[in-house]
A and B are shown apart, each in its own frame.
Chain A
Amino acid sequence: MPALAPNDLFTILPALLLSLFGCALLVLRFDSPSFPVLLLTAAEALAAAALWRQSGFLGLTGFSGAILIDSFGLLLNTVCLAAALLVAWGAYAHLARLGEDHPEFYSLLLLAQAGMFLMIAGTELITVFIGLELSGICLYTLTGFHRDNPRSSEAALKYVLLGAFSSGLLLYGFSLLYGLSGSTHYPVIARALASHSPSEPIILLAVVPLVLGLLFKVAAAPLHLWAPDAYDGAPTPATAFLATAGKAASFGLLLRLLVGPLHDLRPAWDGLILFAALASLTLGNLSALTQSSAKRLLAWSSIGHSGYLLLGLVAANRSGIEAILLYLLVYTLMTAGAFLLLAGLDREGITDFRGLLWRHPGVSLLLVILLVSLAGLPPTAGFIAKYTIFLSLLQAQKFALAVVAALYVAVSLYFYFRLLREIITPSGPTPPTLTLSTGWRAAVGLAALLSLTLGLYPEPILAWARSTLP
């Protein structure tokens, strides 16, 4: 085993900082209830600084190739960082109302994010698996964080059981990859697999469980069944984190594997991904149509979004990967914003939104922006995100897929507008009360404003996504 070099530590510096602060939050006790949020903000600021410092050392590897610093990873890590910050700011008032206002929530956010860092930056099977489990355990706990609520515990249990099952599948695939190549490092695996044909049974035996495990993690149909329940049962801020950072990190892992060592075996996993994309689009969008709870509606729609994201991979070209990264960035902003907005309300039924426009015009405006962006209409960032996915599909000459994807935009429009319709309908029975804190205002306001401004001037994020691929 080679000695630990300072370079190694530098490559995981953001994760180190995050876990340090995460553990500190567990140990320290505070009198001021807002102190954990401040500490988390400080941790994220330091992590952001570390990420920025790392951006000057692209291509650096640590732990003999287990960690790779590249702009792809930096972008996704920034997405996770933004999600954690928004969630932490928006969570405080909601947790206080539930009576679950404990510093552990923020600690779990930080630790989960540290795990996500390893998932995204890791280029070695064991490393990414450790990251996956670290973030997974934190996310399970976050899902069950509302201990007095049986639905929350039920959701957590479901998530743990199915999560463990999918980790098993993933590990099964990993072990066969190790058996085939004799190494856990991506570059070595890639070289070893080059001599295999995609139709060999052993390759299929390794690739299929692996891809299925990954599809579970990104909540894509037909392995999505945990997602609506977990998203619905978890405390809403935890849902916001789960649906955004959790998905971004899982996509990081999925892309690194499928576009990296498994790239030449494309025929072995191509069909699976295509099927999952279409199934997610169909099930996610159609099931969202009939929901009566806004939270479940958003949960189902996030499965639909997984479908769009996977289409970028189906396109099998450079612009498809760029589109996925851009989509994840925008998706995180709008989904975190929308879930956090729900967290500010004390009820979640769609009809509870009736007349919101007259009682809370400012909040309604933010919700309108977020919903319009989720539906993918111009001039919001959601349009640019969907648009880049279409662009990559058309560039790959997959016209039929583009048409199908476009039709589902119309479907999704219908259910997002069900919510809009309620907002603009006057006079509900009893209005939901809003619990607004400064942090909540900052988080939701920032998410909505960025969703709008990045739609009006998307050049920075387009250029950023473009610069991530060599």
Chain B
Amino acid sequence: MITLLLLPALGALALFAFPRRLAWFGSLTLAAATLLAAATVPVDAVERYRWLPSLGAQLLFVNDGISYLLIVLTALMTLLGLLASPAQPRLFHAMLLLLSAGCHGVFLSRDLLVFFICFEAVLIPMYFLIGIYGAEDRRRAALKFFLFTLAGSIALLLGILTLYFEHARHTGLFTFEFAPLLATPLPLSLERIVFWAFFLGFAIKIPMFPFHSWLPDAHTQAPTAASVLLAAVLLKMGTYGFVRFSLPLLPRASLDSSLLLALSVFAILYGGWLCLAQTDWKRLIAYSSISHLGFCTLGIFSLNAPGLTGALLQQINHGISTGLLFLLMGFAYDRRHTRLIADYGGLSKSMPGFAAVFMVALLGSIGLPLLNGFTGEFTILRGAFAAQPLAAALALIGIILAAGYMLSLYRHTMLGAVRHPVNLTLPDLNPREWLIVTPLLVWSVAIGIYPAPYFALLSRPVEQILERLHP
């Protein structure tokens, strides 16, 4: 599994040895090799390397159903992101590869210090991706993104260290390893403090309301590939952190989750409400992410099996659908160099293929049955009804809102009369772009039609978490 970190990280450095023209192919090869490596990691594989024995930190990588889906998603999105940016310089490709290496580290590490280092380290390439290659207001957006997430990370670090010392105080063993830390006896008040410290770190990353204001800026300003990775992978670090670390390590503090349920529901409705008012295509998708991730946190804090399973599946679905939406927005932007919805309209006439793919992505995002979004949202709502019927009922309104803003986006961009003659001359998807969207379309339909393997993959990890929560 360490190959998943080393291959892209060292490959990123090696890219600079390539001739400029071949660098893109080089990066594609590396990303494809990483994807292959990620897909073939056996579930339940464990790798352990010595790193910092004097602090009790080690490189401990464990794969399970949750991690497996996320690393495959990361590797796939990196490959597609690279495929979508052939004109960018080597540095851009190197940063994307570094980013994916960090993400693999986050999703695989079972050592809290290494997890934290990777969690932080991904900020640096993302800062440069947005800050160098973004749109007109990129540097402000990049800094905002960086400072927001860093502030959360500091809280997370202090939480981790408190856990580390409490464990050492009781057992005399200084370790950051996940499994022994589970047995740390924490007084409930301290457990709550640590939980909220973790919450700050993860909630800003997701982002949950009220920490969401960095997201629309970062997404709007980021180049396509960076948007895709940000939405599909980076935001998942927050939800992953909750499921992997907050719930099992701090089960008693997690149990009183009514505030978090309320925040989730509010994010669903508020995000959807904001979407209705957007005039910027990319900003709209960014706000829809807030709403969709509200479903994920709703599922997580329902604290039951369907809720958790649904949330874990939904984060993959959100990665697929939103990644696809951002990619398509990027293709449109490459042709028209504008993000304003008003500048489009009637694209289905000149770009029928694009319009068809966009329709599928959009319906998947809304949660139409037989597409990926439905399986996730349905399962989450089942869990939420069991936990808090009112929250589930309110969340349902979010789905209606989603249908409203997404279909209105479709109508204003794809359908209707062509308001700008230049839109009539736009070329349809080229073979490279078809190559990019096909895997995501296939995956989206596959999850929608036959989700059983994913539930099977997630059932054991979810059971383990529930055992910690309700012993």
Q: List A residues at the B interface (Cβ < 8 Å).
A: 357, 361, 372, 377-379, 383, 387, 390-391, 394-395, 399, 402-403, 406-407, 409-410, 413-414, 417, 420-421, 424-425, 457-459, 462-463, 466
Contact = CB atoms under 8 A, between A and B. Distances in A.
B161 A417 contact: no
Interface string B146-188: 1100110011011001100100000000000000000000000
Given A378-B116, A379-B121, A417-B143, A406 B157 contact: yes
A56 to B, nearest CB: 23
Given A361-B91, A377-B123, A378-B117, A410 B154 contact: yes
Given A410-B147, A421-B143, 19 more contacts: A357-B132, A377-B120, A377-B123, A377-B124, A378-B116, A378-B117, A378-B121, A387-B157, A394-B162, A399-B162, A402-B158, A406-B157, A407-B154, A410-B154, A420-B127, A458-B52, A459-B51, A462-B54, A462-B55
B167 to A, nearest CB: 12
Contact of A390 (B118, B132, B147, B158): B158
B53 interface: yes
Contact of A379 (B117, B128, B132, B154): B117
B131 interface: yes
Interface in B13-62: 51-55
A152 B147 CA distance: 37
Contacts, number: 74
Given A410-B147, A424-B128, A378 B161 contact: no
B139 interface: yes
Interface residues of B, number: 31
A413 B151 CA distance: 10
16 contacts: A377-B150, A378-B117, A379-B117, A390-B158, A402-B158, A406-B155, A406-B157, A406-B158, A410-B151, A413-B146, A414-B147, A421-B142, A458-B52, A459-B53, A462-B52, A462-B55
Nearest to B193: A399
B165 A409 contact: no
A394 B117 contact: no
A394 B51 contact: no
A459 B55 CA distance: 9
B154 A409 contact: yes
A425 B123 CA distance: 18
Nearest to B116: A378
Contacts of B91: 361
Query: 5 nearest interchain CB pairs?
Result: A378-B117, A406-B154, A424-B132, A378-B120, A462-B54
Nearest to B138: A424
Contacts of A395: 165
A413 B161 contact: no
Contacts of A379: 117, 121
A395 B143 CA distance: 32
B165 to A, nearest CB: 6
Contacts of A407: 154
B17 to A, nearest CB: 13
B357 to A, nearest CB: 34
Contacts of A425: 139
Contacts of A378: 116-118, 120-121
A455 to B, nearest CB: 9
Contacts of A372: 124
Contacts of B117: 378-379, 383
A406 B153 CA distance: 10
A378 B143 CA distance: 17
A459 B165 contact: no
Nearest to B113: A387
A247 B162 CA distance: 31
Contacts of B120: 377-378, 383
Contacts of A383: 117, 120
A466 B54 contact: yes
B312 to A, nearest CB: 27
A387 B116 CA distance: 12
Contacts of A377: 120-121, 123-124, 150
A459 B54 contact: yes
Contact of A413 (B55, B150, B162): B150
Interface in B75-104: 91
A395 B52 CA distance: 18
A58 B77 CA distance: 56
Given A377-B120, A417-B143, A410 B150 contact: yes
Nearest to A394: B161
Contacts of B52: 458-459, 462
A206 to B, nearest CB: 36
B124 A390 contact: no
Contacts of B118: 378
A361 B55 CA distance: 36
A403 B53 contact: no
Contacts of B158: 390, 394, 399, 402-403, 406
Contacts of A459: 51-54
B130 to A, nearest CB: 10
Nearest to B91: A361
A387 B142 CA distance: 25
Contacts of A403: 158
A395 to B, nearest CB: 6
Contacts of B147: 410, 413-414
Contacts of A409: 150, 154
A406 to B, nearest CB: 4
A111 B116 CA distance: 44
Contacts of A357: 132
Given A378-B116, A410-B147, A463 B54 contact: yes
A407 B154 CA distance: 8
Nearest to A425: B139
A361 to B, nearest CB: 7
Nearest to A391: B161
A399 B123 CA distance: 26
Interface string B411-426: 0000000000000000
